[in-house]
Amino acid sequence: MEVGIADYKFNPAELKVSRGTTVKWVNNEKRTAHSVLFLGPEGFESERFFPGESFSRVFDKPGSYPYRCGPHEEMKGRIEVSE
């Protein structure tokens, strides 16, 4: 599954996947670096990735995973993981 990043937005902003799915975020901007910052007690931030680069994560546990862009707080998304 893929989440595109363009115009300072995650597309789609909400994604429903099954456990074990790999989600890949692809930076489609022209000049701006982004990151994926997962919120909550087990949160972490990816490295910043530049136009044409990507970041991937495997979702092993069911649940809701809200996130935002580290440098751009207005960019928000959520991954919903089911069994």
Per the structure, how many domains does the chain have?
1
Beta strands in the chain (DSSP E): 2-6, 9-11, 14-18, 21-27, 37-38, 54-59, 63-68, 76-82
The per-residue pLDDT for range 60-74, each reduced to its tens digit, is 999 999 999 999 999
Question: Is it the case that residue 80 has pLDDT exceeding 90?
Answer: yes
- Domain carrying residue 62: 2-82
We report the CATH number of the domain holding residue 25 as 2.60.40.420
What pLDDT, on the 0 to 100 scale, is given for residue 77?
98
Stated pTM of the model: 0.95
What pLDDT, on the 0 to 100 scale, is given for residue 42?
79
Q: How far apart are CA 27 and CA 24, in angstroms?
A: 10
The per-residue pLDDT for range 11-29, each reduced to its tens digit, is 999 999 999 999 999 999 9
